[in-house]
């Protein structure tokens, strides 16, 4: 087996996390004891591959929570107690078909889960069937389709590949922000837009643009909650800072999606940044026609992110700055890996608050944000 590779790989992973993502590193737990590991094998009635034992002797899993160390699959590293709990749960769902052929069983008795997606039963597993050549192989379980192998032949190899990926950085989808590690999907090529495209005629058949936005629209707190500490920051900053950040984010979005090449879009953003109040639009105005043409192109090309970008331009110019800054950032995440750092910079780079919990949202008093459900829960907790 490759237990020596496990130790070498964890040394590389730990060193990288200490330097680049110390808050994520802090969630990795101390080693598990030999007796605890032996008792777990006895309870499950399996033999752990040496690689799994070596990994548990390095880190007994990772603490739960948004800062937790997770593999690139999104699965949190499990310790001994998590392995027992998650593996036992999976055994209760399905014992597999015949227990002999890989891929046939939904879950076989000698599979051991060592990584958990947490919000579902999906996760990383290891084949602990000692009589097979696949002993120690790494697979992944999906709720809908069951177990699939091919992740790696051993945990040592899997961790070595993980260390390589971390050291490659952003080109491999590795992002750090505020001391935390994030895994991002590969980015698509940025769309190309020509400012020379003729403007459609007012009577041309085009998708209608949502022009119902208002600067006074309430933002539901769920839009902010997904942005974690950045969402908490947006919620407590002065209104003027949020407006300025919304303008900067919308310009970034227009540039990254190519929409800034259209003179109608660029002129509107230029005026908005100068503080010029834009007139209420109608479906046949030059800017609305341009954005409607983009919607038509996006629908034809099945380019949902391009459609989102056009919709966010309208939202940003005529809607709530709170909603605009959130949704511009969400759309930008499809075009740049640095969207969190950019958003923080556009908000003025103030100190970041802790990741908010329900109590934070329940105590929030911002008339532009609807946190009524959390406030009601917070009041009940106080009673």
185 — pLDDT class (breaks 50, 70, 90):
confident
**d(C-alpha 159, C-alpha 162), whole Å:** 5
Tell me what percent of the residues of the chain surpass a pLDDT of 90.
84
Helices (H), 45-141: 50-56, 80-93
Which residues share a beta bridge with 147? 141
Query: What pairing do the DSSP bridges indicate for beta strands 219-220 and 369-370?
Result: parallel
Going from the C-alpha of 289 to that of each of 14, 214, 299, 331, the distances in angstroms are 53, 20, 15, 21
**d(C-alpha 170, C-alpha 45), whole Å:** 42
**d(C-alpha 217, C-alpha 319), whole Å:** 7
Helices (H), 22-154: 22-25, 34-44, 50-56, 80-93
Mean pLDDT of 41-57: 98
281 — pLDDT class (breaks 50, 70, 90):
confident
Which residues share a beta bridge with 140? 124, 148
- The pLDDT, as a whole number, for residue 38 is 98
99 — pLDDT class (breaks 50, 70, 90):
very low
pLDDT in tens, 222-244: 999 999 999 999 999 999 999 99
Going from the C-alpha of 32 to that of each of 22, 38, 62, 77, 383, the distances in angstroms are 21, 10, 12, 13, 41
- The pLDDT, as a whole number, for residue 343 is 98
Mean pLDDT of 39-62: 98
- The pLDDT, as a whole number, for residue 186 is 81
Q: Say yes or no to pLDDT of 205 above 50.
A: yes
DSSP state of 219: E
Q: Say yes or no to pLDDT of 66 above 50.
A: yes
> What are the two backbone dihedrals, phi and then psi, of residue 251, each rounded to the nearest 5 degrees?
-65, -45
Q: Are 328 and 347 in contact (CB under 8 A)?
A: no
Rounded (10°) angle between helices 228-236 and 339-346 = 10
95 — pLDDT class (breaks 50, 70, 90):
low
Query: How many residues belong to the chain?
Result: 383
pTM assigned to the model? 0.89
Task: Please state whether 381 falls in left (phi above 0), alpha (psi between -120 and 50) or beta.
Answer: alpha
What is the overall mean pLDDT for the chain?
92
380 — pLDDT class (breaks 50, 70, 90):
low
Q: Say yes or no to pLDDT of 98 above 80.
A: no
279 — pLDDT class (breaks 50, 70, 90):
confident
- The pLDDT, as a whole number, for residue 223 is 93
Residues 6 or more apart in contact with residue 39 via CB below 8 angstroms: none
- The pLDDT, as a whole number, for residue 192 is 74
Tell me what percent of the residues of the chain surpass a pLDDT of 70.
95
């Amino acid at each position: 087996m490759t237990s020596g590779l496990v130790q070498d790989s964890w040394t590389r992973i730990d060193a990288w996390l200490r330097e680049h993502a110390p808050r994520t590193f802090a969630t990795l737990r101390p080693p598990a004891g030999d007796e605890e590991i032996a008792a777990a094998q006895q309870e499950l009635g399996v033999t752990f591959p040496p690689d799994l034992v070596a990994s548990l002797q390095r880190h007994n899993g990772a603490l739960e929570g948004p800062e937790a160390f997770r593999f690139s699959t999104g699965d949190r590293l499990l310790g001994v107690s998590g392995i027992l709990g998650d593996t036992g749960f999976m055994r209760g769902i399905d014992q597999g078909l015949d227990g002999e052929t890989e891929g046939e069983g939904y879950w076989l008795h000698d599979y051991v889960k060592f990584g958990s997606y947490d919000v579902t039963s999906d996760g990383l597993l290891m084949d602990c069937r000692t009589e097979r050549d696949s002993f120690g192989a790494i697979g992944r379980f999906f709720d809908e389709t069951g177990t699939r192998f091919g992740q790696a032949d051993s945990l040592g190899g899997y961790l070595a590949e993980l260390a390589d990926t971390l050291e490659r950085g952003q080109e491999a989808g590795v992002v750090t922000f505020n001391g935390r590690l994030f895994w991002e999907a590969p980015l698509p090529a940025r769309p190309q837009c020509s400012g020379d495209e003729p403007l459609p005629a007012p009577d041309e058949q085009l998708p209608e643009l949502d022009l119902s936005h208002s600067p006074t629209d309430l933002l539901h707190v769920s839009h902010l909650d997904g942005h974690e500490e950045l969402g908490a920051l947006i919620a407590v900053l002065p209104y003027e800072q949020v407006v300025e950040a919304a303008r900067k984010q919308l310009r970034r979005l227009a540039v990254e999606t190519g929409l800034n090449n259209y003179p109608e879009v660029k002129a509107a953003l230029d005026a908005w940044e100068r503080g010029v109040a834009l007139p209420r639009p109608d479906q046949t105005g030059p800017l609305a026609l341009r954005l409607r043409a983009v919607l038509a192109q996006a629908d034809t090309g099945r380019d949902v992110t391009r459609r989102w970008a056009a919709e966010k331009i309208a939202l940003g110019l005529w809607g709530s700055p709170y909603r605009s800054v959130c949704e511009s950032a969400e759309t930008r995440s499809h075009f740049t890996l640095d969207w969190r750092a950019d958003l923080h910079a556009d908000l003025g780079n103030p100190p970041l608050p802790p990741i908010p919990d329900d109590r934070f949202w329940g105590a929030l008093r911002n008339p532009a944000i609807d946190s009524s459900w959390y406030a009601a829960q917070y009041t009940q907790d106080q009673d």
